[in-house]
């Protein structure tokens, strides 16, 4: 009897010890504030109870699949990193691309020819009227862009890269210039200025055919360099007349180029290469309809990429074409403040785009010097800043914001639906069944947050101006 009683008491004590573990679960919690980025904490899931305010996550309500996260490879990024010693540069590259400890970036953008963060104007063929592309060359790209991408591939050998031109070779444009309007001493005259409703590309067949060949030469050349070019987005901001490299196309004319020239040539040479309609920067769904409702064009289109004012069109596009792949192609660049307010605004962009069906989110500049200036003088944000005098390296709040997503959300994850008081929250279900909850508190004071997950509740206090990621296995 005494032995039986002892066994009973021992069993009961063990039951009491393990009972809290059954009712609660340890959760990985990483929090970032401007003063204390990327700090680890612990919290628990508790039994559901009433709370004043509550968001809810519906893990079984799965939405789009997430392909990944990236940045744009720009010449001035490589120039900034080249100011550093090799070991310091390698640390930055590891922190960006390492699939274990870094941002785990896996899908990145690059310009085809010059963009506003190139060192100066150029294309991959500046030989006038070279319709056969005999003088097409990656020589300029071997100075900065190719070394930049290959340095990233040391940490991510299977890195995917897609390209978009800001401008075709200048001799293919009606104004014979890389820019669209005068400014910043670019040498353009008032008479050479373009306008949004007038295509600036020379629409004669010989130019269209040559430009399609230009794209295939680009894909072929980079693949021979060992860089996985997955496809092209046909024109950066095809509606914007800029004082830096740019080219206006109407949707109808861009459809002619895609349907009759680019699509057939690219798909014949590289059946696996994707063609995206983008990067789209206007709030009008109708310009997407022009492409997607023309079967001779849409047959070649993998998806549509959006940036800037395109965020106002993506809701309508996602509703109208629910099976169409969507991408955010360039996060808004700010004014070089590199502060928490800029990062909080970017969080709101990320939430908007993910809530409207995107599969990939692309940041803009990853590394710049302390000026942050483009070739024409606009000071913009970057995730990492390098001081050209002191060589000090600063990881800005947007670096940690992206890490709160890309470090935890795996390729193949599904965004899951949230409801209730969810204005500062997103959730994803990884292929390994871990649930990732990302929460932002933009307030000046700490905020109690209650998140319902099935029959449990996550009850935490989010620090003022903080990003938070919870990983629940």
Three-class DSSP labels, the chain: CHHHHHHHHHHHHHHHHHHHHHHCEEEEEEEECCCCCCEEEEEEEEECCCCCCCEEEEEEEEEEECCEEECECCHHHHHHHCCCCHHHHHHHHHHHHCCCCCCCCCEEEEECCCCCCCCCCCCCCCCCCCCCCCCCCCCCHHHCHHHHHHHHHCCCCCCEEEEECCCCCHHHECCCCCCCCCCCCCCCCHHHCCCCCCCCECCCHHHHHHHHHHHHHHHHHHHHCCCEEEEEECCCCCCCCCCCCCCCCCHHHHHHHHHHHHHHHHHHHCCCCEEEEEEECCCCCHHHHHHHCCHHHHCCCCEEEEEHHHHHCHHHHHHHCCCCEEEEEECCCCCCCCCHHHHHHHHHHHHHHHHCCEEEEECCCCEEECCCECCCCCECCCCEEECCCCCCEEECHHHHHHHHHHCCCCCCCEEEEEEECCCCEEEEECCCCCEEEEEEECCCCCEEEEEEECCEEEEEEECCCEEEEEEEC
Cα 267-153-432 angle, rounded to 5 deg: 85
One of 3.40.50.1370, 3.40.50.300, 3.20.20.80, 3.30.360.10 is the CATH number of 67-408, namely: 3.20.20.80
Contact (Cβ atoms closer than 8 angstroms) between residue 230 and residue 149: no
Q: Beginning with the edge strand found earlier in the chain, give each strand of the sheet holding 393-395 in spatial order.
A: 367-369, 384-386, 393-395
254, HSE (Cβ side, Cα atoms, 13 Å)? 31
Question: What are the domain boundaries of the chain?
Answer: 28-63+417-472, 67-408
pLDDT in the model for residue 48: 76
pLDDT in the model for residue 47: 75
Lookup: tokens for 145? 């862009």
Distance from chain centroid for Cα 384: 16
pLDDT in the model for residue 6: 45
* % of the chain with per-residue pLDDT over 90: 90
Cα 331-337-343 angle, rounded to 5 deg: 45
Supply the pTM of this predicted model. 0.93
Q: Which residue has tokens 């296995």?
A: 473
What's the CATH number for 28-63+417-472? 2.60.40.1180
Contact (Cβ atoms closer than 8 angstroms) between residue 71 and residue 96: yes
Contact (Cβ atoms closer than 8 angstroms) between residue 131 and residue 172: no
pLDDT in the model for residue 46: 79
- What confidence tens digit (pLDDT) does each residue in 86-138 have? 999 999 999 999 999 999 999 999 999 999 999 999 999 999 999 999 999 99
- Sites in the chain below the pLDDT cut of 50: 1-24
């Amino acid at each position: 009897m005494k032995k039986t009683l002892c066994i009973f008491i021992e069993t009961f004590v063990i039951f009491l010890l393990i009972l809290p573990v059954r009712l609660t679960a340890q959760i990985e919690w990483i929090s970032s504030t401007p003063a204390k980025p990327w700090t680890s904490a612990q919290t628990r899931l508790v039994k559901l109870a009433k709370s004043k305010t509550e968001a809810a996550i519906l893990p079984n309500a799965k939405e789009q699949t997430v392909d990944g996260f990236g940045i744009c490879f720009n010449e001035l990024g490589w120039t900034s990193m080249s100011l550093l010693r090799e070991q310091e540069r390698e640390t930055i590259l590891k922190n960006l691309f390492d699939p274990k400890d870094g941002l785990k970036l896996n899908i990145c953008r690059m310009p085809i020819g010059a963009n506003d963060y190139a060192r100066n104007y150029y294309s991959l063929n500046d030989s006038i009227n070279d319709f056969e592309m005999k003088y097409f060359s990656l020589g300029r790209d071997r100075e900065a862009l190719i070394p930049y991408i290959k340095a990233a591939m040391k940490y991510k050998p299977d890195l995917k890269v897609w390209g978009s031109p800001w401008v075709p070779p200048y001799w293919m444009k009606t104004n014979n210039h890389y820019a669209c309007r005068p400014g910043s001493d670019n040498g353009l005259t008032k008479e050479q200025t373009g306008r949004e409703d007038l295509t600036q590309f020379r629409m004669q067949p010989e130019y269209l055919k040559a430009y399609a060949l230009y794209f295939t030469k680009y894909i072929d050349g980079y693949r021979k360099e060992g860089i996985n070019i997955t496809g092209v987005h046909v024109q950066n901001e095809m509606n914007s007349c800029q004082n830096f490299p740019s080219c206006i196309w109407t949707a109808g004319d861009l459809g002619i180029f895609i349907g009759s020239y680019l699509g057939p040539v690219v798909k014949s040479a590289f059946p696996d290469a994707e063609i995206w309609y983008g990067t789209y920067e206007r709030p009008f769904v109708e310009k997407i309809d022009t492409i997607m409702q023309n079967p001779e064009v849409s047959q070649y289109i993998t998806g549509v990429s959006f940036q800037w004012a395109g965020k106002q069109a993506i809701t309508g596009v996602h509703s109208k074409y629910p099976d169409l792949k969507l991408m955010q192609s360039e996060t808004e660049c700010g004014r070089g403040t590199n502060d928490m307010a800029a990062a909080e605004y970017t969080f709101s962009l990320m939430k908007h785009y993910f809530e409207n069906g995107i599969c990939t989110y692309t940041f803009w500049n990853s590394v710049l010097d302390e000026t942050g200036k483009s070739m024409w003088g606009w000071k913009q944000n970057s995730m990492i800043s390098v001081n050209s005098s002191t060589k000090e390296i600063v990881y800005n709040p947007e670096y940690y914001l992206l890490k709160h997503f890309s470090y935890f959300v795996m390729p193949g994850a599904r965004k899951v639906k949230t409801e209730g008081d969810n204005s500062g929250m997103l959730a994803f279900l990884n292929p390994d069944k871990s649930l990732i909850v990302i929460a932002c508190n933009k307030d000046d004071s700490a905020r109690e947050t209650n998140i319902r997950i099935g029959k449990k509740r996550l009850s935490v206090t989010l620090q003022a101006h903080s990003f938070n990621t919870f990983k629940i296995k």
